[in-house]
Amino acid sequence: MKFSLKPLLLSALTLAFSAPGLAEQTQIAVAANFAEPIKAIAAVLEKTTGHTLKVTLGATGKLYAQIKNGAPFDVLLAANTATPAALEKDGLAKTGSSFTYANGKLVLWSADTTRVDAKGEVLQGNSFHKLAYANPKTAPYGEAAVQVMDKLGLTSSLTPKLVQGESIGQAFHFVYTGNAEIGFVAMSQVLEGGKLKGGSMWVVPQALYQPIQQNAVLLQHGANNAAAQALVQLLQSPNIKNLIRSYGYDL
């Protein structure tokens, strides 16, 4: 009988790639405000399980449009509760899989260490030319910023000074480069290890805007992906919750 190596090699390869507990990769969509924490979480996930994350950042509304149009994401970490709920209703996410992974906080921030005072009174004055915020149509943090300006009765006086980033990430970039002196950004963007990384900020009181409850949801595309499931579990573990809190989120 002639001995062939081929079937043996093939079965060995198949075994190697289907071994239980072997690392998988998952493609996830993440609201821009969560850019910093997700990096730390990805590192933990890779260390503890070997699974790797491929992250796409953007405004929640934009990510929703992409998923509706067939983008191959396994998990969505939104900046609101409405988008995960809508995806469940659309049949694009696993029913009942939506859960809160963070409650976001809005801050008024400047790269300049003295510009923003502890009460946000800078908004009333004329010491700045440009105020950056995220597009309120697509970014929940932008919507929250609009609510704050409305509540303070400053909408009409601030309108000529507003510049809009496509996501909270771009809004942050405008302020970070100093092109806008101040801006409404996510607390997670300016905090690291519970401390302000630089500049000056006013933590906007919760009474001035609707809570930014951020939900994650397992998408149908990732229903059978081990890495996606591991991420969803990890996000609900006490250690990761502490890590998320250190970026200034409530949980």
Choices 72-80, 102-110, 166-174, 187-195 (CB under 8 A): range interacting with other proteins: 166-174
User: What are the strands, taking DSSP E only, across the chain?
Assistant: 25-31, 52-58, 75-77, 99-104, 106-110, 131-134, 162-165, 182-186, 191-192, 195-196, 200-203, 212-218
Figure out which of the listed residues 61, 84, 104, 169 binds other proteins, where binding follows CB under 8 A. 61
Choices 9-17, 44-52, 174-182, 186-194 (CB under 8 A): range interacting with other proteins: 174-182
Helical H runs in the chain? 6-18, 35-49, 60-68, 82-89, 140-151, 155-158, 168-176, 187-190, 226-235, 238-245
Choices 55-63, 93-101, 119-127, 211-219 (CB under 8 A): range interacting with other proteins: 55-63
Residue 152 lies near other proteins (rule: CB under 8 A): no
DSSP 3-state assignment of 52? strand
- For residue 32, the tally of other CB atoms under 10 A from its CB is 27
Nearer to other proteins, 163 or 208 (CB): 163
Q: What is the DSSP letter of 130?
A: -
Figure out which of the listed residues 39, 89, 119, 137 binds other proteins, where binding follows CB under 8 A. 137
Figure out which of the listed residues 34, 174, 247, 249 binds other proteins, where binding follows CB under 8 A. 174
Residue 162 lies near other proteins (rule: CB under 8 A): yes
Figure out which of the listed residues 104, 120, 165, 222 binds other proteins, where binding follows CB under 8 A. 165
For residue 79, the minimal CB distance to other proteins (Å) is 14
Tokens linked to 96: 């009942």
DSSP 3-state assignment of 109? strand
Figure out which of the listed residues 3, 177, 193, 224 binds other proteins, where binding follows CB under 8 A. 177
For residue 80, the minimal CB distance to other proteins (Å) is 15
